[in-house]
Amino acid sequence: MDGLAITLPRIGWEGGNAYGVGCLVRWSDAEMSVVDKPRVKRPTKAKTDQRAHEMLRMMLLIRRFEERTYQEYTRPGQRIGGFCHLYSGQEAVAVGIAAVFAKGKDYLITAYRDHGHSLALGMDPGAAMAEMFGRATGCSKGKGGSMHLFQAEVGNLGGHGIVGSQIPLGAGAAFACKYKNTGGVCFTLFGDGAINQGVHNETLNLASLWKLPVVFIVENNGVAMGTQVERSSAEVELERRGSGYHMPYQAFDGNDLDQVIDVVGEAADRARAGSGPTYLVANTYRFRGHSMSDAMKYRTKEELEQARRRDPLVIYEARLREAGAIGDEQLEAMDAEVRKQVDAAVKFAIDSPHPDAQDLYSDVYSEKYPLEKK
């Protein structure tokens, strides 16, 4: 057994009842078909090994953060309330976008499955966990919860609960970038379930007509709640939606970090150059249910097992190993460090105060209208 087979379960393993509590699924090289094996033997898009490690580490942080969120949500005396949607399996999309994101200039906006994007853009895991625990130290002062992680100062326009609602908001942010000539781009993300909303049509049309600096990214994890794409969209090659609006379009492997960096980076360059929007479809998979109460009866064991062989962390780890850029020791140290960071985030959340009752009505409405004169 080579090092790859030894470390895959450690990195790819998910505790919790989606796969049976505590079950450790083991893969071996033999179980990976030729198709499943990472075929491209080339250095990663990261300029240095250190950068590659940082990106793998971030994907791992998101994975461990989500595992812990699951545990905290489901444990007796549940400390996380409200809706909660986990991002496990889709990590390469958020981390790849973050790799081409210009902080302080660009914007990112997404739906309620927002933990991964926020961490990838640099949110302190403590502030993210505290938000889910409803604590005053949370990134939205404990009043938003899991679906509303938000960090305006880095351009993270947060998570939105109404399916499709963030699409026009993203175009609005892109409009502001163009109007103010900032050179910024808005990465506007949504699920395959959002593309049949009317607002998707209106936004794509205006964004293309006005050549807005926006990169539309469908995170196609194959299902909207329990409804598969082929049961909700007449055209299953979702990227073709872009063609109706006269913009370049492309589907790509959203589980391959290097591909995300390549494809999204190119679209961002195009937007920055004033050439307008691009419509991208990141094909990916979510390992967990839609939200915490989903028994995933719409999936077979075989489908899940196949998907786990395309785990973005496993793919990237294997690529780094093949390039000789990482080894067992470094991986073990990385995992231990990440686990500690997640433990500290939970401790921070537990030790933090709840918001004051007198803050109940603050931050509900804008205190000052943006165009108001002094």
DSSP-derived 3-state class of residue 279:
strand
Q: Cα–Cα–Cα angle for 77, 160, 57, nearest 5°?
A: 70
Quick one: which of 162, 236, 273, 333 contacts ligand TPP (CB under 6 A)? 162
Rounded to a whole number of angstroms, the minimum distance from the CB of residue 190 to ligand TPP is: 6
Quick one: which of 97, 119, 163, 345 contacts ligand TPP (CB under 6 A)? 163
Distance CA 207, CA 215 (A): 10
- In Å, how far are 55, 127, 236, 296, 312 from 120, measured between CA atoms? 9, 13, 29, 27, 15
Which residue's CB atom is positioned nearest to ligand TPP? 191
Applying CB under 6 A, what is the total number of residues that bind ligand TPP? 15
Quick one: which of 224, 282, 307, 331 contacts ligand TPP (CB under 6 A)? 224
- Token pair, residue 237, equals 């090659």
Q: What is the residue type of 296?
A: M
DSSP-derived 3-state class of residue 227:
strand
Q: What is the residue type of 82?
A: G
Q: Say if CB 144 and CB 81 are below 8 A apart.
A: no
x/- map, 233-272, ligand TPP, by CB under 6 A? ----------------------------------------
- Token pair, residue 332, equals 């073990």
- State which residue, 152 or 225, has the beta carbon closest to ligand TPP: 225
x/- map, 184-223, ligand TPP, by CB under 6 A? ------xxxxx--------------------------x-x
Rounded to a whole number of angstroms, the minimum distance from the CB of residue 2 to ligand TPP is: 35
- Residues in region 61-120 near ligand TPP by CB under 6 A: 111, 113
Strands 227-228 and 186-191: unpaired
Distance CA 241, CA 203 (A): 12
Rounded to a whole number of angstroms, the minimum distance from the CB of residue 274 to ligand TPP is: 30
Rounded to a whole number of angstroms, the minimum distance from the CB of residue 218 to ligand TPP is: 8
Distance CA 122, CA 130 (A): 15
Q: Say if CB 278 and CB 215 are below 8 A apart.
A: yes
- State which residue, 45 or 148, has the beta carbon closest to ligand TPP: 148
Q: Say if CB 254 and CB 282 are below 8 A apart.
A: yes
* Part in contact with ligand TPP (CB under 6 A); list of ranges 6-14, 72-80, 99-107, 158-166: 158-166
The answer to whether 226 contacts ligand TPP (rule: CB under 6 A) is no
Helix H segments across the chain?
A: 3-12, 49-74, 91-100, 115-120, 125-132, 166-180, 198-209, 229-232, 257-272, 301-308, 312-322, 328-351
Rounded to a whole number of angstroms, the minimum distance from the CB of residue 61 to ligand TPP is: 20
- State which residue, 195 or 313, has the beta carbon closest to ligand TPP: 195
Rounded to a whole number of angstroms, the minimum distance from the CB of residue 288 to ligand TPP is: 10
The answer to whether 290 contacts ligand TPP (rule: CB under 6 A) is yes
Rounded to a whole number of angstroms, the minimum distance from the CB of residue 163 to ligand TPP is: 4
- State which residue, 24 or 162, has the beta carbon closest to ligand TPP: 162
Residue 16 CB neighbour total at 10 angstroms: 21
Rounded to a whole number of angstroms, the minimum distance from the CB of residue 36 to ligand TPP is: 23
Strands 278-283 and 214-220: parallel
* Part in contact with ligand TPP (CB under 6 A); list of ranges 27-35, 143-151, 160-168, 337-345: 160-168
Q: Say if CB 290 and CB 88 are below 8 A apart.
A: no
Rounded to a whole number of angstroms, the minimum distance from the CB of residue 296 to ligand TPP is: 12
Strands 249-253 and 223-224: unpaired
Chain positions contacting ligand TPP, by CB under 6 A: 111, 113, 161-163, 190-194, 221, 223-225, 290
